[in-house]
Amino acid sequence: MKRAAAFAWRERGWLLAFLLLLGIYLAISAWGAGSNLPPSPAMESFKQSEEAFKGTSFTPDFIRGWIKKSPAESLGFFLLSGLFALLFAAGCILNLLCAFKPGFRRRLWPPSAVSEKPWGAGMLLRVLVQFLGAGLGINLIFALLARLLDSGIAAHGLLLTHTLIVDALCVYFILRQVKQTGNSWSDLGLRTPPGSSPVREIFAGLSAYACVIPWFVGLLLILTAIASLTHYEPEPHPLVEIFLEEEKKAPWLIYFSVFIGCIAGPFFEEIFFRGFAFPIFKRKFGLAWALMISACFFALIHKNEFAFLPIFLLGILLTLIYEKRGSLLSSYFVHFFHNTLFILYFWCVKSLIGH
């Protein structure tokens, strides 16, 4: 308690700024939640197609018709389904080997490779204040631009641009804090571990990802069953709204969204949650609590109650990969691979539903 009080007093200026900005964000969120905007026509049309699809019989004629109408999407669906099945089977085998072969488990999950960093909670607080402040300022500017332009396409473009700029600024703020302690990019995990190679790191990440796939699928099935029993309809991901609305109006926004969702977003998130925040939590609370805290915040920022537990599980996996490999290369590739798989799967399923 004394240490917490001393920290609060020492960082009182930054702490007050953080609480003020957090209060503003919460007020804006509460105000936005009360607006209850109706779903877009594109989203309504997709939901109607989804409801109509529930009674579809998968006859050979239906499958042949879909393949003829959408050859690329149908091929992608079958390839992705095969890949998921392969990952699931590989994950089951790897989990059994880890359970009964201690030597194999030690090779797959080696001892910690992340050295202790001289970073404290004050650094994290300062980065959060700068991040929230920059986000609020840019949000106000872009809100005015969106009102002046008065276009749905402009609004989505500004939203994506806002996300990209604020995330890039966050990485800049992190690097400034890290450099003040005499560290550099490599101390954030942006390096290949000694004696390893990018290919080996990617393979290690995929092996770890396969181990989690059976648990991930099981968790999704349980959540889907609960949602079905309780008639709960999960909120769609913001990117889904953009995909559906801008598919024909502004295809460039689709590519921009995919770039942020698959490449830029995972890069920024890995630097913040794994490379920067996790070592601070680990130094303060130990490995187990650091895993839980960083994964919890990672899930919370995605703002999806239904997907909280799957994203939390993904956060645990990504943090463990970084902890064991000592490099963001593996965790970033897994993050990129995971997001890319689900975005591709969405497009394939959308084609199937719309057939």
Condensed to tens digits (0 to 9), the pLDDT of residues 209-267 reads 999 999 999 999 999 899 888 888 877 777 888 888 877 778 888 999 999 999 999 99
Band of residue 68 on the pLDDT scale cut at 50, 70, 90: confident
Q: What is the mean pLDDT of the chain?
A: 87
Band of residue 206 on the pLDDT scale cut at 50, 70, 90: very high
Q: Is the pLDDT of residue 149 over 80?
A: no
Condensed to tens digits (0 to 9), the pLDDT of residues 30-57 reads 776 555 556 677 777 777 777 767 767 6
Band of residue 105 on the pLDDT scale cut at 50, 70, 90: confident
Selection from 298, 299, 295, 297 nearest residue 308 by Cα: 299
Band of residue 313 on the pLDDT scale cut at 50, 70, 90: very high
Give domain limits for the chain: 61-354
pLDDT at residue number 5: 79
pLDDT at residue number 163: 92
C-beta neighbour count of 271 within 10 angstroms: 22
The pair of three-digit structure tokens given for residue 107, joined into one six-digit string: 């090779």
pTM exceeds cut of 0.85: yes
Query: HEC string of the chain?
Result: CHHHHHHHHHCHHHHHHHHHHHHHHHHHHHHHHCCCCCCCHHHHHHHHHHHHHCCCCCCHHHHHHHHHHCHHHHHHHHHHHHHHHHHHHHHHHHHHHHHHCHHHHHHHCCCCCCCCCCCCHHHHHHHHHHHHHHHHHHHHHHHHHHHHHCCHHHHHHHHHHHHHHHHHHHHHHHHHHHHHCCCCHHHHCCCCCCCCCHHHHHHHHHHHHHHHHHHHHHHHHHHHHHHHHHCCCCCCCHHHHHHHHHHHHCHHHHHHHHHHHHHHHHHHHHHHHHHHHHHHHHHHHCHHHHHHHHHHHHHHCCCCCCCHHHHHHHHHHHHHHHHHHCCHHHHHHHHHHHHHHHHHHHHHHHHHHHC
What are the residues whose beta carbons fall under 8 Å from the beta carbon of 158, sequence distance 6 or more? 142, 145, 146, 149
What are the residues whose beta carbons fall under 8 Å from the beta carbon of 45, sequence distance 6 or more? 244
Q: Is the pLDDT of residue 153 over 60?
A: no
Condensed to tens digits (0 to 9), the pLDDT of residues 114-136 reads 778 889 899 999 999 999 999 98
More confident residue, 194 or 166: 166
pLDDT at residue number 355: 57
